[in-house]
Amino acid sequence: MSQFTPTPRTTLKRLPRRGVFDRAAVHAILDEGLVCHVGFVMDGQPFVIPTIYARIGDRLYVHGSAASRMLRSLAGGVEVCVTVTLVDGLVLARSAFHHSMNYRSVVVLGRATLVEDAAEKRAALEAVVEHVVPGRTAAVREPSEKELLATSVLGLDLVEVSAKVRTGPPIDEEEDLGRGCWAGVLPLSLVTGTPLPDPLMPAGRALSPEVASYRRPGAA
């Protein structure tokens, strides 16, 4: 199916015209982002934890130390809310009230489960590395069995999902259009800086191809 099915929890109540349920659009936002925030409640206390993630098909994966509070809590099947947000520009209006941002965001609701299948776990961990730097797994050592035991992976199916997108110029009141201040959009994008070599690496080593050509999806 090309669309995610809206549910009472994913149907936008405010500005519903910005809601997006197109599967390809949701995938594109998830694939461009680098960090997700995982929200959950443990012993009555809400937590929101930022972490790296990856997508394989319609399944989202997060990983971390097997001893981490988040992964130990979620492995028991706790309900989660995972969000990813990309900021594309600052919307500068003629009034303070109408200042905004152009953004693309995804919210995923569901129950994360511990990945126990060894092949799926390895595939998920490889996907995390490839999500951050495509082509990197071919250049580095695979995780050892000890490292795999020290790492937990959680999977979350993309079933109850929605995206929200704002684009375009400010939406000002008609009586403010004559004000003398500048109004419009200040675009923002993620820019890669100059790679900084590890001091322990031999001097003069050339950049790996995946580093030399690195850019995020959607980057200007």
Task: Read off the pLDDT band of 220 (50, 70, 90).
Answer: low
* Stretch 51-74: mean pLDDT: 84
Residue 155: CA atoms inside 13 Å, Cβ hemisphere, count? 16
12 pLDDT exceeds 80? no
- Residue-wise pLDDT for 19-41, tens only, equals 888 999 999 999 999 999 999 88
Q: Give me the pLDDT at residue 216, please.
A: 84
Domain boundaries, the chain: 16-212
Architecture of the structural domain at 16-212: Roll (2.30)
- Residue-wise pLDDT for 177-188, tens only, equals 999 999 999 999
161 pLDDT exceeds 80? yes
Residue 58's contacts (CB-CB under 8 Å, 6 or more residues apart) are 23, 157, 158, 159
CB 68 within 8 A of CB 40: no
Mean pLDDT, the chain, rounded, equals: 91
